[in-house]
Copies of this chain bind each other. A is one copy, B any other.
Amino acid sequence: MRREELVAETAITLLVERGMRGLTHRAVDEAAGLPPGSTSNVARTRAALLDLTLARLTMLEEAAFPAFSAGDNLEAGRLAELTAGFLHFQLTEGRRTSLARYELALEATRRPELRKVYDEIGRRFREAAIAVLASAGSADPVRHGGQLVAFAEGVIFDALVGAGTTPTLDELRSSMHEVVNGMLSGSP
């Protein structure tokens, strides 16, 4: 593993285990078993360390998200199934990256430079959702794409961070069919 990867992976783990308070250059050195100063050599400032961590997270999450980036030719039922599968993944194997991303998202409310990078990444996911909704027949794909992203975010946040329990894959499927059908039937 390259030094940068090791630093970023360790930073992700620290964010999950200790939160933003626990992420320091020194803590990364120690947790990664690196000589003091190693993390500073890779990412001199705190901002640089956060950028490096977010870049690594994004790479990991995009790898888990192939269906949406692969194409926008999905009918509604298939869109619901794929989204349910993606959510199930994020709630299980993706727990670690989801939690670290939420830490960075909150930090981005206080760091305009990080906000810019975070929003640019979010825009890519959102545009994929808009394209998929448009091809599934949405009458308002921009709003519906945002709605799909918001719902997905809420399901993950509520189960992993909020007071909710983790839905089963079957429950996620039922929910996603309802959400997608609700959007494609239009509001009254």
**Which listed residue (B20, B125, B164, B180) contacts A149, Cβ 8 A?**
B164
Q: In the bound complex, how far is the Cα of B143 from the Cα of A178, in angstroms? A: 12
> Which stretch (A4-12, A30-38, A101-109) binds chain B?
A101-109
Tell me whether A18 and B110 are in contact (CB under 8 A). Answer: yes
Q: For the complex formed by this chain, how many copies does it contain in all?
A: 2
Is A44 an interface position by the 8 A CB rule?
Answer: no
Query: Nearest Cβ in chain B — how far from A126, in angstroms?
Result: 7
**Given that A152-B154, A178-B182 are known contacts, is A146 also in contact with B161, CB under 8 Å in the complex?**
no
- In the docked arrangement, what's the CA distance between A85 and B107, Å? 28
Q: List 30 A-B contacts (CB under 8 A).
A: A19-B20, A20-B21, A99-B106, A102-B102, A105-B157, A105-B162, A121-B163, A122-B162, A122-B164, A125-B163, A126-B163, A143-B167, A143-B174, A146-B158, A150-B154, A150-B157, A151-B154, A152-B154, A153-B154, A154-B155, A154-B157, A154-B158, A157-B157, A174-B187, A178-B185, A178-B186, A179-B179, A180-B182, A181-B185, A185-B185
Given A122-B164, A143-B171, A153-B154, 16 extra CB contacts under 8 A: A16-B109, A19-B110, A105-B161, A108-B161, A122-B162, A150-B151, A150-B157, A150-B164, A151-B151, A154-B155, A173-B187, A178-B183, A180-B182, A181-B188, A182-B183, A185-B185
A→B interface (CB under 8 Å): 16-21, 77, 99, 102-103, 105-110, 118-119, 121-123, 125-126, 140, 143, 146-147, 149-155, 157-165, 167, 171, 173-175, 177-183, 185-188
